[in-house]
Amino acid sequence: MDLRQHRKLIIIDNAISYTGSMNMVDPRYFKQESGVGQWIDMMVRMEGYASSMLGIIYACDWELETGEILAPTIPEKDSFDFDFAREHNIHAIASGPGYPEELIHQALLTAVYAAREQLIMTTPYFVPSDDLLHAICTAAQRGVDVKIILPAKNDSLMVGWASRTFYTELLEAGVKIYKFHGGLLHTKSVLVDRQVSLVGSVNLDMRSLWLNFELTLVVDDIEFGEQLAHLQQTYMMSAEKLTYDEWQQR
C-alpha cells in the first residue's frame, strides 16, 4: 500500500524519450487549493540509445503491473536520424523494490563527494539521509560553493517543517539556501562543477531514496551542464537567499 510508482517517462517509437520531474497534469490548475502557485518542472528530451535504455526500464514496470513481457528492441545505429557527433554521455539509474539497493543514493553521494568547485541542488522536498546531509555539509566546509534551491511554500506542511530542521546545520557549514518564490519548484536536479548532472524524478528525501520506483539520469557533459546551470540560475533570480542571522531570528 505504501509503494509509489514515481517515475515520469514517455517513450516514442523506442527512439525519442522524455523524463524528468513533470507529472501528466496541467501545472496551471494542479493542486491550486494548496496555495503554492504553479508547479515548476523540467523534462529532458533524448534520442537514440538512451531511449532504448529507458524502454527496458518501462518494460520491467509493465511486466510488474500486468505480467505481460515486452521485448524492447535496440535499433541499429543507422536507423537513428540525428547527429552522433553531438552525443552526450548518459547513464540511467532506476530504483525501487526488486532493484539493487541504494543505487541512486550511492550516485548522489558519489557526485557530492566529487564536487571540487560548485554544487547546485534543486528539490521540492528536502529530507536527506544522514549520509547525504554529511556529504553536503562536508563539501561546503572544504570550500565548494554549495547552493540548495527549495520552494518558499510547500504543498506538504509536514515536509516543509522537516526540511527546516536541517537549515541550522547547513547554514553553519556554509551551504547557501535559496527560497524560490515563483511557484512550487518541483524540479529535481544536481549539478556538479557545471559538468556532471543528475536529473529525473528523485526528491532529496527518504521516500524517494529508499522506497519509490524512481528514475535518475546521470549526464556527464559540459554542454548539458551549462544548460542546466542556466536554468538553475533563472530559479535563483526568483529566489530569496536565507542568511544565518535571519534564520537565527525566526
The catalytic residues are: 6, 8, 13, 186, 188, 193
User: Could you tell me whether strands 118-122 and 145-151 are parallel, antiparallel, or unpaired per DSSP bridges?
Assistant: parallel
Residues 6+ apart with CB under 8 A from 110: none
- Judge contact between 154 and 186, C-beta under 8 A: no
Q: Which of 7, 193, 197, 5 is nearest to 91 (CA)?
A: 197
Q: Which residue has the cell 494548496?
A: 34
At residue 192, φ and ψ (nearest 5 deg) are -110, 120
At residue 133, φ and ψ (nearest 5 deg) are -60, -45
Q: Which of 35, 240, 1 is nearest to 156 (CA)?
A: 35
